[in-house]
A and B are shown apart, each in its own frame.
Chain A
Amino acid sequence: MAKKGDWVRIHSIILTPEQRSSAVPDDTKSVPLEQWTKGYLHDDTALGGEAVVTTRTGRVVSGTLVDETPHYSHSFGDFVPELQQVGDEAFAFLFGGSAK
């Protein structure tokens, strides 16, 4: 349960598939246009509940509560051994020595 005043993330549907632009490709048109926003919660709300928040610029936005005190956990993917070899090979080619 998130408390009033907590920093949370909410989700909403901006356009349903039927409301989407006719200019988008079929795969995009078959799914809704979705939005995520963060803000300070107006009232105590459980995850998955309907929430109203005030964003950092003072906008009041409503949506489904999807995260409390959201943080970042993105990464840039798995290690790519070939890329490491690129640098080592070029180094050896230019300065001599072995790439291994």
Chain B
Amino acid sequence: MTKDNSFSAVMARKGEIIRNAVGVDYKQFESGSIAFDYERMMASTGYTLEDVAEIQRGFAIGNTPLIELKNITALVRKISKDGYGARIFVKDEAANPSGSFKVRRAATSIHHAKRMGYKGALSATSGNYGAAVASCCAKSGLKCIVVQECYDSRGVGQPEIIEKARKCEALGAEVVQLTVGPELFYTVLRMLEDTGYFNASLYTAFGIAGIETLGYEVATQCRAQLGKDPDVVVCTNAGGGNLTGTARGLIKANCAAQVVAASVNLKGLHMASDTQFNKKSFTTGHTGFGMPFSTWPDRSDVPRSAARPLRYMDRYVTVNQGEVFYTTELLARLEGIERGPAGNTSLAAAISLAQELPEDANHRRTGDRVHGRGQTWQRTIKLCTSKRNSRVAWRSAGRNRGREHHSTRATILTARGGRRPRPHAPLLDHPRGNDGRQRADC
């Protein structure tokens, strides 16, 4: 009998297709109400943090450098009020085999797929994750398909996505490219059904568990290099995986750093619009993914997303595209490191956040109510992605907090002494411009 491959018929089969393609029955985590057992889902991978680190070592992933941006910190101090300007560090995830942190989440998935006997893996991604999956598949002897949302209806592609297609093909993957639209998920379901491949979703517990090593390394490297914990970790936020996994890793390292999410503000642009597709300069790290995936993480390509950033973020800040390009120039010109631009979202935020924090605890100021008298504050701020900007929305589990701010990605800010900025009136700034689309990737 011929299978009905119409849009509605395939979507109706999605539960069964995903169950077969991930090897997980998500019903076991449901309670019958809107609640589900998140921690049980995370534990269901069966891999401990050490197991994940061991898997990643097998792929030569992780233990990336923690780099102090001394010149950018000096620049920040020149424009900060006297005595302010925390030390900024970046975790250089570009040093991973595929060139980004995304390979941490791919490694666990592909290791598991291989172990479960899948012959190949498929991923819906327009960004670095495709190269990450392709890289791990190449090393594991698995076939790989990457599905991209790449072109508008004029056939104009986003160059960053096309470049990623080139890289995926160089790593041996088959790349399928589509025009704009959430029905990419329909195409993916059909291919999963036809190939029997593993769905290397960004949002499974395997993927998020893979990022925990990033947070853990940040804490342990700070302790080794600085003798103290970071105060703030800034994570570029799109689908929420970076922030969720990093925060979980920090917690596992008993590190109480403030976790800040940072996104490029693309307010006004609809992510599923054909005509607006090429109006943005950033394909990820932006509010078009960050806001909807924070507020409704289960819009992803698995029934329950393991990326749940609102459980972990203390604050959410936005920056604009120009600020990130500016930061990208600073990183190249003052530090000799060419990266980004999307990855510099957190750094842009860090440059702004650093100005709120004192560089030296012993530097006392009039009117500073919090500064301890004679007390030495040792404080490190780690920013894991930042972008500076405008208005900040923050929110954290169980409490709303808000304030004006800025932020960026993969950066660490270290402030020796000083106070942590305290939130004031609750504020949740929700840039619009989002829709109900299934997300292809970040």
A interface residues (Cβ-Cβ under 8 A, vs B): 14-15, 19-21, 23-25, 27-28, 30-38, 55-59, 72, 74-77, 83-84, 86-88, 90-91, 93-94
Contacts and interface: CB of A to CB of B under 8 A. Distances in A.
Contacts of A24: 181-183, 272, 437
A32 B181 CA distance: 10
15 contacts: A14-B183, A14-B187, A23-B182, A23-B437, A28-B274, A34-B151, A35-B176, A36-B177, A38-B175, A56-B174, A58-B143, A59-B194, A84-B329, A86-B329, A87-B330
Interface in B141-193: 143-145, 150-151, 153, 157, 159-160, 162-163, 166, 169, 172-183, 186-187, 191
Contact of A34 (B162, B179, B270, B334): B179
Contacts of A23: 182, 272, 435-437
B166 A72 contact: yes
Contacts of A86: 325-326, 329-330, 333
Contacts of A31: 153, 179, 274
Interface in B173-228: 173-183, 186-187, 191, 194-195
A93 B78 contact: yes
Interface string B408-438: 0000000000000000000000000001110
B190 to A, nearest CB: 9
Given A21-B181, A24-B437, 19 more contacts: A14-B183, A15-B183, A28-B273, A32-B179, A56-B174, A58-B143, A72-B162, A75-B159, A86-B326, A86-B329, A87-B330, A87-B334, A90-B75, A90-B333, A90-B334, A93-B78, A94-B71, A94-B74, A94-B75
Contact of B274 (A21, A27, A84): A27
Interface string B39-67: 00000000000000000000000000000
A29 B157 CA distance: 19
Interface of B: 6-7, 71, 74-75, 78, 120, 143-145, 150-151, 153, 157, 159-160, 162-163, 166, 169, 172-183, 186-187, 191, 194-195, 270, 272-275, 325-326, 329-330, 332-334, 435-437
Given A19-B7, A77-B159, A94-B334, A25 B183 contact: no
B178 A14 contact: yes
A78 B172 CA distance: 31
A87 B329 contact: yes
A37 B334 contact: no
B75 A93 contact: yes
A75 B160 CA distance: 9
B182 A21 contact: yes
Query: Mostly helix, strand, loop or mixed at chain B's interface?
Result: mixed
Name the 10 nearest CB pairs between A and B, nearest first. Answer: A87-B333, A31-B153, A86-B329, A74-B162, A28-B274, A87-B329, A56-B174, A57-B143, A34-B179, A36-B177
Nearest to A37: B176
A57 B174 contact: yes
B318 to A, nearest CB: 20
A74 B163 contact: yes
B273 A76 contact: no
Nearest to B332: A87
A76 to B, nearest CB: 5
A14 B151 CA distance: 14
A91 B78 CA distance: 13
Contacts of B436: 23
A25 B435 contact: yes
B183 A33 contact: yes
A83 B329 contact: yes
Given A56-B174, A59-B195, A25 B330 contact: no
A20 B183 contact: yes
Most buried by A among B329, B333, B334: B329
